[in-house]
């Protein structure tokens, strides 16, 4: 027997294609959900887009029949209904005016009428807890979820045990190949070769392809990048990716204080100001406040963006050794430019080193919009911490950064590394660890 899926507002605002994600099973959209979706249609972000697409699809399909009676969605899909609820089916103890409770009542009403298995689909954890407490089946909407939890997220590094002589050969400059049958590797994945005989004997390398030998990791310990030297092997890997012309898409994940933004900016300054590989260094980030929003900010665009880009400013000041005049000069001649993601649609950013900080607050739609703006001879860096999400409609798994990490991991043009060790200060490292 086919199931009936009752879709919550959060599922449709996450992905307008949620309606078509349940094969031949029937779909019910509660009237309350339509009302809530309508309240979001004027937004200019991914949520607003999904709202408008859902409304347009419903308008299109209703020409085929009455939505209350049910309309066949596609040849290989089930029926689509828009239904209300019986007020008597709101469980005792729940506020009848609450939207979630009305959606739950819609599911209970349908279950009582049909006797079929009814499943409430919601991204809202509390909604699913409510359903469970009254014996109603529920599930998360996971079509955009590529891994189950953050521990499964690709980290860009693999430890591989080899014979002791293999490491000696590697240090002697001989070509070392990894066989497909021995280990699965992604493009531009780093590998730590560890001796079977002595686990303290190791070598660091980067995998390109099974047809090519392991590449040497460039050591920036001696000269550094813009005066910045890596403090651990993950930072060394990050600089190796950031400075490599053959890898135009780099993603860096890591907890606060691990140095991801600092490394990205240092590499950007080195390649833009010193080497002249790029015409400009472009920095931006999603506008997501921590805590209560303080409202609209006065001034021109750069003035409005300044509070959001203070972390970038702090890193620049550190790298410029407090030389404000030099830093202001780089801003004045547009060598460093601050861009608002709000106005990026329709643009083509060429010959630029692009840093998108706090990328974990991007939706998948926003991520696609940004990356498709990257023009010829540009490089884009996405940095963030997938555990620190300020966007209501995404989580540690379904955010843009996590999605980019998983989707690009097999692509030769992309590279990723997760920074695991805090380097900002002992205080910051301790706070990130225990708080």
Tell me the CATH number at 86: 3.40.50.1010
Instruction: Please give the pLDDT value at position 294.
Output: 44
* 22 token code pair: 């349940």
**Mind giving me the DSSP string for 259-278?**
SHHHHHHHHHHIIIIIS-SS
Residue 391 is predicted with a pLDDT of 79
pLDDT of residue 142: 74
pLDDT at 349: 87
Give yes or no: residues 135 and 230 share one domain: no
Q: Is the residue at 208 inside a domain? A: no
- Considering the domain architecture, whether residues 410 and 304 belong to the same structural domain is answered as yes
Question: At 241, which CATH number?
Answer: 3.40.50.300
Model confidence pLDDT, tens digit, residues 194-203: 999 888 899 9
Is the overall model pTM greater than 0.95, yes or no? no
Where is the domain boundary, 117, 139, 161? 139
- The reply to whether 204 falls in a domain is no
> What per-residue string of b and e applies to 141-151 under the rule 16 or more CB within 10 Å gives b?
beebebbeeee
419 vs 3, 31, 257, 316, CA distance in Å? Answer: 43, 46, 10, 20
Of 107, 139, 171, which residue sits at a domain end? Answer: 139
Tell me, yes or no, whether 247 and 116 share the same domain.
Answer: no
**191 near 205, Cβ under 8 Å?**
yes
Q: Are residues 117 and 266 in the same domain?
A: no
Domain assignment present for 187: no
Does residue 194 lie in a domain region? Answer: no
Indicate if 130 and 252 belong to the same structural domain: no
Which residues of the chain register pLDDT less than 50? 289-294
- Domain-located, residue 241: yes
Domain tally for the chain?
A: 2
Residue 432 is predicted with a pLDDT of 64
pLDDT for the residue 266: 95
Residue 34 lies in domain: 4-139
Same domain, 23 and 130: yes
């Amino acid at each position: 027997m086919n199931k009936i899926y009752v879709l919550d507002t959060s599922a449709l605002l996450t992905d307008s294609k949620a309606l078509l994600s349940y094969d031949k099973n029937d779909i019910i959209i509660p009237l309350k959900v339509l009302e809530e979706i309508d309240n979001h249609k004027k937004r200019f972000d991914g949520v607003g887009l999904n709202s408008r697409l859902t409304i347009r699809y419903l308008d299109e399909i209703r020409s085929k029949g009455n939505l209350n009676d049910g309309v066949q969605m596609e040849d290989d899909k089930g029926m689509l209904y828009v239904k209300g609820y019986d007020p008597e089916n709101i469980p005792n103890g729940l506020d009848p005016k609450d939207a979630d409770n009305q959606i739950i009542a819609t599911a209970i009403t349908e279950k009582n009428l049909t006797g079929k298995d009814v499943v409430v689909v919601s991204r809202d954890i509390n909604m699913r807890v409510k359903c469970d407490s009254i014996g109603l089946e529920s599930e998360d909407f996971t079509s955009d979820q590529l891994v189950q939890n953050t521990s499964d997220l690709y980290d860009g590094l693999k430890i591989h045990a080899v014979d002791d002589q293999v490491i000696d050969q590697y240090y002697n400059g001989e070509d070392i190949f990894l066989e497909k049958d021995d280990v699965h590797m992604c493009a531009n994945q780093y590998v730590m070769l560890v001796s079977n005989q002595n686990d303290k004997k190791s070598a660091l390398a980067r995998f390109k392809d099974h047809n090519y030998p392991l590449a040497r990791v460039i050591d920036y310990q001696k000269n550094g990048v813009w005066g910045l030297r890596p403090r651990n092997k993950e930072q060394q890997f990050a600089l190796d990716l950031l400075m490599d012309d053959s890898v135009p898409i780099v993603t860096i994940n890591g907890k606060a204080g691990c140095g991801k933004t600092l490394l990205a900016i240092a590499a950007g300054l080195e390649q833009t100001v010193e080497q002249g590989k790029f015409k400009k260094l472009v920095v931006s980030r999603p506008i997501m406040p921590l805590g209560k929003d303080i409202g609209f900010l006065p001034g021109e665009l750069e003035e409005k963006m300044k509070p959001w880009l203070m972390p970038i400013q702090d890193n620049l000041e550190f790298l410029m050794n407090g030389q404000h005049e030099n830093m202001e000069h780089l801003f004045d001649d547009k060598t460093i430019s601050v861009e608002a993601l709000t106005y990026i649609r329709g643009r083509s950013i060429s010959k630029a080193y692009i840093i998108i900080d706090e990328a974990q607050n991007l939706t998948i739609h926003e991520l696609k919009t940004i990356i498709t703006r990257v023009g010829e001879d540009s490089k884009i860096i996405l940095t963030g911490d997938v555990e620190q999400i300020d966007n209501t409609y995404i989580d540690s798994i379904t955010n843009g950064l996590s999605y980019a990490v998983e989707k690009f991991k097999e692509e030769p043009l992309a590279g990723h590394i997760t920074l695991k060790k805090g380097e900002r200060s002992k205080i910051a490292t301790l706070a990130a660890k225990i708080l």
